[in-house]
Amino acid sequence: MNSKKIIGKIAKSNYLPVILLVAAILFSLRFFDQISFMANPVEYILFAFGNTAIYLFLINAYIPFVLLISPKGLGLAGLKKHRRLIGMLSYLFVVLHVATYMLSEPWEELANNIVRPFILIGMSGFLILSMLAVTSNNKSIKKLGKKNWKNLHRFLYLMIPILFLHISAKDKNNPSASLIIFAPLVLSYLIRLFYFLKNRNKSSYAT
């Protein structure tokens, strides 16, 4: 079997999300053996779940770009069918992240923290991702209608500035770390937009 066929089979395989979930769990637990030496183990868990959520989010966000730039014959189109599940996996780790935060502070502290910019921004991100997660099913597409559903899921683009601000707003982190994560993604979106507009113009000239 040639390599293209193998890649195509892996991309279509129903095991891919399972492999991704296992990889995500191993990624978030990679320093777990050192937790007893950590000054603040809860913070480690908060970061671990937050970072795993973001990397799954990024993997999902890059799939359309990978499909755009990769040769059609490579058979990667099968990746498309996993986007919903990868999105839900990312949301699972967001919920674990937020739950860790909610359980790690007394209620008064949580109430006081609500006004902190990176918490407010995190909450707006959580609300958007919850709305997208709840409507990530065929029943919602039918109920909302394809056009409305697509418009609703365009809120995903808002997650880029929201997550960038959430991670870089934190006092301990300089924005450059978040820029390294998000700048390539924004570039990939701009390239996709360029091709979208180019093809749209081409088809409007054709008709």
Summarize as ranges the residues that interact with ligand HEM (CB under 6 A): 46-47, 50-51, 53-54, 57, 94, 97-98, 101, 119, 122-123, 125-126, 129, 163, 166-167, 170, 172-173
Least distance to ligand HEM, CB of residue 53, Å: 4
Q: What is the largest CA-CA distance in the chain?
A: 67
Q: Of 90, 86, 104, 106, which is closest to residue 42 (Cα–Cα)?
A: 104
- Nearer residue to ligand HEM within complex by CB, 174 or 203: 174
- Nearer residue to ligand HEM within complex by CB, 70 or 130: 130
Angle between helices 41-69 and 83-104 (to 10 degrees): 160
Least distance to ligand HEM, CB of residue 176, Å: 13
Q: Output the CA–CA distances (angstroms, integers) from residue 20 to 35, 63, 142, 181, in the order listed.
A: 24, 14, 29, 19
- Nearer residue to ligand HEM within complex by CB, 57 or 182: 57
* Residue that the structure tokens 């189109």 belong to: 77
- Nearer residue to ligand HEM within complex by CB, 11 or 182: 182
Least distance to ligand HEM, CB of residue 72, Å: 32
Assigned token pair, 105: 């502070």
CA separation for the pair 32, 193 (Å, rounded): 41
Least distance to ligand HEM, CB of residue 167, Å: 5
- Nearer residue to ligand HEM within complex by CB, 108 or 205: 108
